[in-house]
Amino acid sequence: MVFILTEKSIKREQWGSKLGFVLAAVGSAVGLGNLWGFAYRSSQGGGAAFVLLYILVVLVVCLPIFVAEFALGRNTSTSAFLAPIKAAGPRWAPLGWLFLIAPLAIASYYAVIMGWTADIFIQSLFVGLPLNPEESSSLFDSIHSGKRDLIGQIFSLGLGAYIISGGIKKGIEKLNKICIPILFIILISLAIWAAFLTNSGVGYRNFLLNFDINQLANPTTIRNAFSQAFFSLSLGIGIMITYASYLNKKSDLPKQAIQIASLDTIVGLMAGLITFPIIFSFGLGETISKSTIATLFITIPSGLGQYGSIGRLVAILFFGLAYIAAITSLISLLEIPVATLIDKFKIKRNLASILTVGFTFIIGIPSALSTNILGNIDAIANVLLILGGFLVSFLVGWVIPKTLDIELKNSGSSSLTKAYLKFMLKYVTPIIVAWGLIISVYDLLKGWLS
């Protein structure tokens, strides 16, 4: 009895408005994954074939999982660590752990990449851009070595802790309401600018029109499409569960899932419409196809460096945009451990934020010191997201279908929408994700062993 009273007396925060929730979820989804991941994955796996697979995965797999995560979060009103247990009992505790480990792993290296982004932004603002790929690569070497790296990482995590300790409405929601409109304005302006570059057509062709049908069966392309979809939409990791736990009972979950997924996909495509023309205008296509995350930090600055002061302005906008996109994603990653600490140990948000950020910093040091380690953690984390997506769809589709019913009813969904989502989460989505998971693990191991 006493326990119940205490539970009730701690009132859970809520989003200030529906729009606030949608913007926060878009903020989480739109991040470095859209600006970098989309471009390098598409150039690795044959352009249009990758884009097509990506869109199919979003429609068939990710949209239903979105609704499943939202339903689970809103129904249980608790963070992703506890939600599976609360919904389906202690046997589901491992899924909670997955939802704690995966965001910490991603946040650990994400903050490092944000540090590089901030560094190049400052470099473009105050110093200028490198004039050729050699200069650019030595600039990147100095950026990601030693102290400079750690400073960027600490700065980004500190900023994250500051925002997140402000809470849901005054921290996360407020930041997104300011950042998302700015982000769209910069993005549209840059895409228009890129369209007028001399070789923009070659860039577009490589990105969207170069269709090689064999790529559809290439395990790397398939893995890339699944990884990109889950990473870019922040799915399979518990973020959408946690964000939905702050929702009131009335909002329409399927509609919001569609809004968020479409905005995120549009940003990914538009980012490609910016990066590809820049890269191909200077014949830098070779460098990016072999790319790791780091290469774009070399390719884009050296491409823009050849445009004089306009190029410098574009670099300032582009890296500023990337940083804004990234901070709204970083806080969503940090929110899971923070919410878990608050929900489980009833500690204050400030303390939870400091503990989370401190821990994230420590586990991120290896990634700050080695891009190789960073790349491997990224690859593993991406597979974990697909695993998380499989487990969520199985949980909601098979184990707690009633929860889905209740939440779709609360959403005011039509009977067609209800029937469609229930069918997908039961018979289609889990099977396709399981297939994607097997191929991704196979492709990852193959890469490591060869």
Residues that bind ligand PHE (CB under 6 A): 28-29, 31-34, 106, 231-232, 234, 237, 239, 329, 332-333
Q: How far is the CB of 213 from ligand PHE (least distance, A)?
A: 28
- Distance between CA atoms of residues 116 and 428, nearest Å: 40
- Whole-angstrom CA distances from 354 to 158, 324, 335 are 9, 21, 12
**Looking at beta carbons only, is 28 or 353 nearer to ligand PHE?**
28
Cβ distance to ligand PHE smaller for residue 105 or 304: 105
CA distances for 310 relative to 172, 202, 230, 247, 303, angstroms: 33, 21, 35, 44, 12
The three-state DSSP-derived secondary structure of 242-289 is HHHCCCCCCCCHHHHHHHHHHHHHHHHHHHHHHHHHHHHHCCCHHHHH
Select 29 or 408, whichever has its Cβ closest to ligand PHE. Answer: 29
Structure token digits, residue 231:
């990473």
Q: Which two tokens stand for residue 401?
A: 């279908």
Instruction: Compute the least distance from the CB of residue 163 to ligand PHE, in Å.
Output: 15
| Contact of 224 with 39, CB cutoff 8 Å | no
Torsion, CA 296, CA 144, CA 386, CA 225, rounded to 10 = 10
Nearest approach, Cβ of 389 to ligand PHE (angstroms)? 11
Shortest reach from residue 405's CB to ligand PHE, in Å: 28
Nearest residue (CB) to ligand PHE, 129 versus 383:
383
Select 21 or 307, whichever has its Cβ closest to ligand PHE: 21
Q: Which is nearer to ligand PHE, 81 or 282 (CB)?
A: 81
Report the b/e string of 197-217 with b at 16+ CB within 10 A: bebbebbbebbbebeeeebbe
Residues sharing a CB contact under 8 Å with residue 57, sequence separation 6 or more, in sequence order: 225, 226, 229, 432, 436
Q: How far is the CB of 267 from ligand PHE (least distance, A)?
A: 9
Closer to ligand PHE by Cβ: residue 34 or 200: 34
In angstroms, give the least distance from the CB of 28 to ligand PHE.
5
In whole angstroms, give the CA distance from residue 72 to residue 83.
7
| CB closer to ligand PHE out of 229 and 368 | 229
What is the nearest approach in angstroms of ligand PHE to the Cβ of residue 37?
Answer: 6
Question: Residue 31 has what DSSP assignment?
Answer: S
Residues sharing a CB contact under 8 Å with residue 105, sequence separation 6 or more, in sequence order:
363, 377, 380, 381, 384
Q: State the nearest-atom distance from the C-beta of 234 to ligand PHE, in Å.
A: 4
Ramachandran angles phi, psi of 211, nearest 5°: -105, 115
Question: Which one, 333 or 396, has the nearer CB to ligand PHE?
Answer: 333
CB of 240 to ligand PHE, least distance (A): 9
Between 34 and 295, CB nearer to ligand PHE: 34
* Shortest Cβ 35–ligand PHE spacing (Å): 8
CB 164 within 8 A of CB 353: yes
* Cβ-based neighbours of 272, under 8 Å, separated by 6 or more: 38, 39, 42, 51, 207, 208
